[in-house]
Structure 1
């Protein structure tokens, strides 16, 4: 079982994340072997496991550190994330994720739906078995609601050239930042930290998630298809208008709107024209600046965390800098 190479520099966390994947795979009890195989392949598809990593790290600040519970909760978090990815790919008709065929592309939409559904069930089963109180289950269910609200907000704005930057930020706050926030807050809460500390951890996770999604959206305008594992400007063709494009629309809507009206029928030349306008209006640079603002907020708050004898705060700083200054 091979983890992403970024964890080579963090051997203790690498060991815990390997155990997390083992828990995920061992929790599968499915008679339908297509669904089971689809989930296993998704588990081992090379994701960075960032959310369980933050959950594990923030759990170290608590006074009640139960390794079995910490890793089980990390597995539940990653199952929830994996389920949302599988369902996203169905909705978006995506054939590639991380340069590999998606579950829907390889196994079909029906198997993909059931795989995602099963992971939601498995997530709550683990939470119910290990959570200290109903509070954690409430946090998890409310986060799922916010994630769905973000996805629905994005869907409601498909091919809508009047979408605002505020709309965009609200949507990614739900669909991406919320799960980072949950990972950090539930890690502290379930290890005996105060509600106040859990809230602060959630704020850190939220800012990390906001920066992470903005940077991910920037790749659609700044990297080639091999680097990002999907076609360039794929989001635009699907009517998903992210931050670089929204900044460009603020500056030059008269040229952009006719191109966006082509929707999924946009030609390669028209897509290139969109990219050129985004470059000329410095849409990418402005988006990078906002991502930097969220990153700096997160790093500043991590610096304020209590010192930890095992260097947990320093590890959090290292990982956050690493993932928020990434190229792919």
Structure 2
């Protein structure tokens, strides 16, 4: 009995590690694309070693991702799910790149890209954790939906913090704005006629925006109701995630997941 428990534990660790390695690989490539100097409060790989080395480092991590899941998984269905998640991550990144500096984006465009990136990783982690932790099909599907909704809420909160977090974040703020990636607060602002008239002349400068232009955009958003509206959307997806958890038996694990979910959305307060 102890041997079986040890084997399951090793498998879960390998799967959790594979997802984090996939995440890290995507971050390395994100930093190359965004020409980012920092990641998690430290100098990024591309800034320290150059873009060529960073590309190969990210690619190497992708191979480690597949090595881990090949060792941990024998079920074809979950091999396919992992491959599809990687596909969604890359498609989401390409979709985001295709929308750079596009002033006509809307919430649906944003949601499509988020589901292909952050939410796909959260969904895979929650779904695999349940399935390989011997959860039944109903539990696994509830947790898959939980992961997706939590991932969307997480990204929305992250977008808010890009405008409000200042020095509390371990990454440069407003970096996405300077590279033409318009996050949710800005997209909501662009949907309002009075704010759009103020923002478009600044945004049309694209990469020629000055530091003063960027600060002005930030000020326009912070002086409007946009941050509160964005937070309300984060609350909406957080509540969906909590509703997914409510379908499950109340255990120490679900109590912990509920606390984590609520704490996540309150990062903006």
- Work out whether the TM-score is over 0.5: yes
State the Cα deviation string for residues 108-151 of structure 1 (Å, max 9, x = none): 21221111111111111111111141111100011111111211
How far apart are 1:65 and its partner, in Å? Answer: 7.7
How far apart are 1:249 and its partner, in Å? Answer: 0.7
1:255 paired to 2:198: yes
Alignment match, 2:147: 205
Q: CA RMSD in A?
A: 1.9
Higher relative contact order (CA 8 A, sep 6+): 2
Q: Give SS of 1:326's match.
A: helix
How far apart are 1:196 and its partner, in Å? Answer: 3.5
Which shifted more, 182-191 or 81-90?
182-191
TM-score normalised by L of structure 1: 0.76
> What is the 5 A alignment of 1:303-314?
303-308=246-251, 311-314=252-255
Alignment match, 1:168: 110
Q: Give SS of 1:117's match.
A: helix
TM-score normalised by L of structure 2: 0.92
State the Cα deviation string for residues 36-80 of structure 1 (Å, max 9, x = none): xxxxxxxxxxxxxxxxxxxxxxxxxxx998111111111111111
8 Å Cα contact 2:32/2:46 also seen in 1: yes
1:67 paired to 2:9: yes
The CA distance in 2 between the partners of 1:169 and 1:178, in whole Å, is 12
> What is the 5 A alignment of 1:14-53?
none
Unpaired stretches in structure 1, ≥5 consecutive residues: 1-62
8 Å Cα contact 2:14/2:68 also seen in 1: yes
More helix by share: 2
Unpaired stretches in structure 2, ≥5 consecutive residues: none
8 Å Cα contact 1:159/1:240 also seen in 2: yes
1:243 paired to 2:197: no
8 Å Cα contact 1:177/1:210 also seen in 2: yes
1:102 paired to 2:35: no
The CA distance in 2 between the partners of 1:325 and 1:132, in whole Å, is 39
